[in-house]
Amino acid sequence: MTFGTAESGATNRTLGSKISIRELHSREEEAIMTFLLHLEPEDVRARFGSLRPSIRYLLPGIDRGRHSVAFAATDTGTTVLGILNLECLTTPTAEIAVITRSDHKRRGIGRLLLGCSLLWAERCGLAHLFGYISVQNTAALALVRAAGFRVIRCDGFTLEVGNTLPVSDL
């Protein structure tokens, strides 16, 4: 399933190549291992909350009884440049987390992943998405705010951000 593309231009400033969003499959461990090798420590910490990235949190599947899906941004089909994970909690709510490969940031990949995931979530009947961001993570906060997320609460270290989706009539 392909959800959208970022053509060359404003959203794809660095390489001028085409980025596609598709589902990431649980069999793609090798591609994810390569992805992890291209992450800077500060990005690992921002996504995983520690300096030890875990492939388990990036792969889709069923964990602790919760169903999760993942979307990958790719340029060649196999090279993963960004991953958005969406874990369905109590219906119709899901938690999201996103990360772009450190050497491909600011190309519009995060925005494209988030936009496609919002569309997907809406079509699936999800009503509320939320996520957690460090208070210092201005990049992620700007990204999600632009996509309609609002800060729900803050404990001084972490922001909980949420977005209520329109009801889909599909």
Ligand X SMILES: CC(C)(COP(=O)(O)OP(=O)(O)OC[C@H]1O[C@@H](n2cnc3c(N)ncnc32)[C@H](O)[C@@H]1OP(=O)(O)O)[C@@H](O)C(=O)NCCC(=O)NCCS
- The CA distances from residue 145 to 7, 101, 148, in Å, are 23, 21, 5
Q: For tokens 């499959």, what's the residue?
A: 25
User: Is residue 6 at the binding interface for ligand X, with CB under 6 A as the rule?
Assistant: no
The answer to whether residues 60 and 82 touch, using CB atoms and an 8 Å cutoff, is no
What pairs with residue 130 in β-bridges?
Answer: 95, 162
**Binding of ligand X by 105 (CB under 6 A):** yes
| Strands 61-63 vs 66-74: parallel, antiparallel or unpaired | antiparallel
Nearer to ligand X, 106 or 123 (CB): 106
Q: How many CA atoms lie within 13 A of 131 on its CB side?
A: 28
State which residue has the least CB distance to ligand X: 110
The reply on whether position 94 binds ligand X by CB under 6 A is no
* Packing angle of the helix pair 138-146, 109-123 (nearest 10 deg): 50
Give 155 or 169: the residue with its C-beta nearer to ligand X: 155
Candidates 20-28, 52-60, 135-143, 160-168: pick the segment binding ligand X (CB under 6 A): 135-143
Decide: is 116 part of the binding site for ligand X (CB under 6 A).
no
Residue 15 interacts with ligand X (CB under 6 A): yes or no:
no
Among 4, 36, 43, 119, binds ligand X (CB under 6 A): 43
**CA distance to 2, 17, 18, 142, per residue, from 6 (Å):** 12, 9, 6, 19
106 lies in the site for ligand X, by CB under 6 A = yes
Q: Per rule CB under 6 A, is residue 110 in the interface with ligand X?
A: yes
Q: What's the CA gap between 107 and 130, in Å, rounded?
A: 24
Number of residues that bind ligand X (CB under 6 A): 24
Query: Of the two residues 31 and 133, which places its CB atom closer to ligand X in the complex?
Result: 133
Binding residue for ligand X (CB under 6 A) from 59, 69, 99, 126? 99
- Binding residues for ligand X, per CB under 6 A? 43, 46-47, 82, 97-100, 105-111, 131, 133, 137-140, 142-143, 146
